[in-house]
Chain A
């Protein structure tokens, strides 16, 4: 049994001919804030679905907190929290009703669920809308509610698929602080986001998936060192867009690894 919070071995998922995730190996230590990056369609959400037991892998092994997901599915689900990409909220409930329901589904007794619901609604600044249906919430409010639902049972591992999408700056700052407090208390967070600045600020370790394959993983320093070393060998212009003496940003590292253009190479003549 591996002591990692998340341990993935030869994980593969095929949808007919399409290979969405191919032979991914990953190890996330307990207490790590782990960023999982990749361009659109790279396989991030598919990986998260497999890690949270919503999608069966075609091949490979997943262990969460030392428990094999294929044999301890319910026990694993009890110990993890998820903010899925689609959020999967019940639109005709109020925020309070939804959080109560989620708490009870995770085995909290009514009183504890109610207490935590009220605390979370206050924390997420959603108390002003006690009678408002979730369907009438803004996108950002729905994200906050989904995050509140993911943490109501005090999970040891939290999976977040684009948690800051549509969230205003004030709320984002508050959420980041909350997540960092969770890390300080020993929780593990697995985060996917397209906002690389956020990942850079929060995550200690990062993995990059591209076309279903894991192309890089390690701490930010390790990734930076790898890119710089490669650039030095190839006498490349990897640092051309960052001033001398300055560290490469995660965005530059990411673009370098997935092979994206660093500058716009083509122009649209009709754009002013």
Chain B
């Protein structure tokens, strides 16, 4: 067995006399945080409520897997169809549900879960880089991120199957889109985390979530009611005769333009997030 202050090889030279490791701590701290999350999860299983929560998580997890794979197949099929039919400009429509789900679901889901408040890690000697990465890791493991990433993968495969030469471009654009979403969601959380830590706020978010779900029921009648307007002229678009040129005014960008736009937005969101995180870090 190792003595205190010694490493596994029993070499005390690698440690300071106070048992502190002089090597950069970032990775060790991240490992400690990962282990903390694991221990919290394992310990939650010791209680009846924890076991019930696990059971519900298994069901919810299965629903997520089904939704993720099903959504990926559906969106992938839609992307393949649009590309095969020569309507790449409509691909943007497929990204809206992904965007909305990615941004809104974690906020709504907070109403039903008690998250580990990452701001409570601020009293430890975490470098800004480590803190940033830990928060990013929190976001990457989010169910919304996993499901939405699956959907984007489906879209990429769909585009690649229809037009193989566009696959690298599609992958680059959608990867950037994923990064923008991840950072944007984390940015929103950086501001809302403390607010959402209060039970009352979570309850309000829960009510909003149910209202949101109920409002989806209205989508069908609305589509039926306004369905007759879904003709090209209804979009305010003077349709050119060439195939594939007709598009709504608000859905202008082509694949290339979208790529540039998203790259620009990714950079600004990234900078914004770094800036907005600074006060919470104590800079």
The interface of chain A, by Cβ under 8 A from chain B, is 52-56, 70, 73-75, 77-78, 82, 84, 88, 90, 92-94, 97, 101-102, 104-109, 111-113, 115-116, 133, 153-154
Contacts and interface: CB of A to CB of B under 8 A. Distances in A.
Interface of B: 2-7, 15, 18-21, 25, 28-29, 31-33, 35-36, 39-40, 43-44, 46, 116, 120-127, 279, 282-283
B40 A106 contact: no
Contact of B19 (A52, A82, A97, A108): A108
29 contacts: A52-B123, A53-B122, A54-B122, A54-B282, A56-B279, A70-B283, A88-B123, A90-B116, A90-B120, A93-B43, A94-B43, A104-B32, A105-B33, A105-B125, A106-B20, A106-B124, A106-B125, A107-B20, A107-B21, A107-B125, A108-B20, A109-B19, A109-B21, A111-B5, A113-B19, A115-B4, A133-B46, A153-B18, A153-B20
Given A111-B4, A112-B4, A154-B18, A104 B29 contact: yes
Contacts of B121: 105
Contacts of B39: 92-93, 97, 101
A132 to B, nearest CB: 10
B111 to A, nearest CB: 20
Nearest to A113: B19
A116 B21 CA distance: 15
B5 A101 contact: no
B4 A56 contact: no
A142 to B, nearest CB: 14
Contacts of A153: 18, 20
A53 B21 CA distance: 23
Contacts of A101: 32, 35-36, 39
A6 to B, nearest CB: 17
A109 B21 CA distance: 6
Contacts of B43: 92-94, 97, 133
A270 to B, nearest CB: 34
Contacts of B36: 90, 93, 101
Contacts of B33: 105
